[in-house]
Each structure stands twice: as structure tokens, then as C-alpha cells.
Amino acid sequence: MFNLKSLQLKKEGFTLAEVLITLGIIGVVAAMTMPVLVANHKEKQTVAQLKKVYSTMQQAYLMSINKYGDSQYWDQSKTYIGTDEDGNNITDYTSAYTIFNYLAENMKSVDGGKANQYIRHEYDSYSLDGTFRNTISTNKAIPNIALADGTTISSGWVENGMMDIYVSLNKCIYKGKCTVGKDIFYFKIYFSPAKIVPEGSPTDNSTRFKEFCNKGRTDKDNGRGCTAWVLQNENMDYLHCDDLDWDTKTKCKY
């Protein structure tokens, strides 16, 4: 017959010192891994945002052509006119502003389907390697389209049958600092044939990936060649290793 009295219960537990040591180890591991996890999440978020705005721009461009006719016949007056006696650029964004109004009609612009002639917030721009590029002030007349999610699409110059544009993500302009290749990504709008091309593709000779998406290279345009990489390979691994290649290595080995 089973005797309850003969059953011996042994109570075991952790001492306070053991609990504190365990919590300390967990804290150290968390401190080491959390920044990596947060950075990875932010990069994936940036990739998703860039893909979304690229698709939005392409659709808006096609809809603008359907309404206003073949883009090769749009006003393509050059933005750059020359320099003044102090060496400052003289620019005229009239044609760029017209084109941006065409595009804004087909986007969810916070300005009611219109482009804005002035940036709302002043911010500093940096290259991928950290080189200071310039300060974009609120009184500078740069045509732009502000979207509801905080994305801003801004115009570069119109010349030679195309127009430079750049997209600012992560609400960086509200923070006062944007980095090319992390927050700012460049595209080219071509008028004939009509297409929007991300900079840094293997066939892009102006902003090649290995030269203009390289943290180890000091250049004010460093980062401009990252756009095509992000869209095609869906990663920003160029922030973590410098030996990536379109054909042989499209991801870092962590």
C-alpha cells in the first residue's frame, strides 16, 4: 500500500544571485542583438517603401501620358541656364514644375494632386560615406510632391531628353538629415522612350553601383548608385560589406 508519509518532496529553486546573473546575461545578449534587429527591420521597411513609390511613379507617368500625350512632346526646357558672376548656378524649374504637376495629379499628394514649388522642411544632405553635400532650405524653389506617408519626390534638372528626380524616404526631411543610399534614392525620367529608370543599374554608366554605392569611397555623389540594387535585390547589404557584385554576390554573408 502506498504510504504518503514515505514520499519525500525536495523543493528546489534558484538563488537570488543565480537569477541576477541570468538576467545580466540576457541583458547583454539583448543589448548586442537588438540594434542589429532594429537596423534589419528599418532596411526592410526602406526596401518596401522604395518599391511602393517606384510603382506609384510609374503608374502616374503612364496616366500622365494618357492625358497629356506622348512625353517626348512635353516642355523640356533645360533647368540649368548657366552661372552668375559669383559662380552660382542659374536655374529655371518651369518645365520641371509642369511635369511634376502632371505626375502629382495621379498620386495621393498632400497638396490635393498638385506639386509644391518649395520644400517644406530644411534638411542637410549627406553622401553614403558621410560626406556633407548641401543644405536644402525651405526657400529654394525645387518642385516636389509630398505624399501622405511622408515620402517626398523632388525634381532635379531637365536636360538632354530626361529629368533627374530623387525620393526622400523614412520622413528624413522632417528629421533634418537625409543620407543618399539610406534615405534618398535617385531615378531618371526619360521622355523618349518614356520610362523611369533607377540609378545604379548594371547598364548605367553615369552612376555605376561599385563606384557610387560604396561606403569606403569619399564622394559627394556616393549613394546615388544604390537605387537599382535595392529594387532588384531587395536588400541594403552594401551598408554591411563592400564586395557585392551584380553577377557573383548579391548578399553579404553574416
What is the DSSP annotation of 161-181? TEEEEEEE-TTHHHHTEEEBT
Q: What is the mean pLDDT of the chain?
A: 88
Confidence class of residue 9 from pLDDT cuts 50, 70 and 90? low
| Strand partners for 126 | 132, 179
Rounded CA separation 96/101 (Å): 9
Rounded CA separation 108/149 (Å): 9
Q: What is the pTM of this model?
A: 0.85
Average pLDDT estimate for 204-220: 90
What percent of the chain clears pLDDT 90, i.e. is strictly above it? 67
For the stretch 81-133, pLDDT in tens is: 998 888 888 899 999 999 999 999 999 888 888 999 888 889 999 999 999 99
Confidence class of residue 10 from pLDDT cuts 50, 70 and 90? low
Helices (H), 147-226: 172-175, 209-212
| Residue 19, pLDDT score | 66
Considering only residues 145 and 36, tell me which one the structure prediction assigns the higher pLDDT: 145
Rounded CA separation 214/212 (Å): 6
| Strand partners for 45 | none
Cis check for the bond before 202: say yes or no (omega within 30 of 0): no
